[in-house]
Amino acid sequence: MAPTVVTGAASGIGAATCAALREQGREPLTVDLHDADINADLGTPEGRQHAVDAVLARSGGVLDGLALCAGLGPHVPDPARIVSVNYFGTVAVLDGLLPALREGEQPAAVVVSSVSSTHVAWDTNPIATAVESGDEPAARAAVAAGGEYRGQLAYAASKNALTVATRRRVAEWGAAGVRLNTVAPGSVDTPLLRAGMDDPRYGQAIREFVAPVARHGTPAEIAAAILYLLGGNAGFVHGAQLVVDGGVDALFRPTTF
């Protein structure tokens, strides 16, 4: 069996996805900043290229799956880096590994987006024009100028752009025989969420918000959704965004879906 690559594998949803794969007898090929099979910074062009090259070398150019879990939350000090990791880093790895996935057996890829992807419309997304042209400096500049809450703007805009990028690839990836979907988690009990709760700008809002299912999700619950989308039971699921958020999106957008 060819490997399944997991980015952001050292913690949170990525670590839970690795654990779920191992429970199925599948050893993941892990990518993260540290403590991974391949240590790489997806926030830089050099780090992205290193990740892709190292995965191709370690896998022999054949992959059965890809779970792109790496991402940054709105609390990080440099909001521009959120765009670089969440959007540009993810898309570079996604596209760079398509040839290897094409060689796999019933291959599939899952991108971890966010329910926040629905909080910004593509027509008003401040980084839309920049990502359309692949202009990373312009996208970074657009969110850096976003005011006090530019971290949340960068997060929602990057996840919206990521979902759009995934959906726009359905024809090419379908023709290549590789299914591609996104998972959109809500509030999940991860180190990223806990760091956000400690942030003076966002912490109170995070703590006070309660989903219709009145708790945070667990990384294992998101990993279960990822493994479903990677597996054969989802063989006709392609270009979908599976929302796993305790009912938040339905609460706020009951007529928009």
Tell me what percent of the residues of the chain surpass a pLDDT of 90: 84
Say if residue 196's pLDDT is above 70: no
Q: 55-94: per-residue pLDDT in tens?
A: 999 999 999 999 999 999 998 889 999 999 999 999 999 9
What's the rounded Cα separation, in Å, for the pair 166 and 114? 13
pLDDT confidence of residue 195 = 72
CATH classification (class only), 4-188+217-245: alpha beta
pLDDT at 229: 98
Report the pLDDT value the prediction gives residue 84, as an integer from 0 to 100.
Answer: 98
Residue 107 pLDDT more than 90? Answer: yes
Distance CA 241, CA 226 (A): 11
Does residue 197 register a pLDDT over 90? Answer: no
- The verdict on whether 228 is a catalytic residue reads no
Query: How much is the pLDDT for 156?
Result: 96
Q: Is the pLDDT of residue 203 over 80?
A: no
Rounded to an integer, the average pLDDT of 176-183 is 98
Q: What is the pLDDT of residue 257?
A: 87
* pLDDT average, residue stretch 184-198: 79
Kindly report, residue by residue over 135-158, the tens digit of the pLDDT.
999 999 999 888 888 999 999 999
Residue that has been written with the tokens 């063989």 in this structure: 235
Q: Categorize the per-residue pLDDT at 51 as very low, low, confident or very high, splitting at 50, 70 and 90.
A: very high
* CB-count burial class (<10 Å; 0-12, 13-18, 19+) for 153: buried
Listed by start position, the domains of the chain span: 4-188+217-245
Catalytic residue from among 149, 155, 202, 228: 155
% pLDDT > 70, the chain: 96
Given a cut of 90, whether residue 128 has pLDDT beyond it is: yes
The total of other beta-carbon atoms located within 10 Å of residue 124's CB is 9
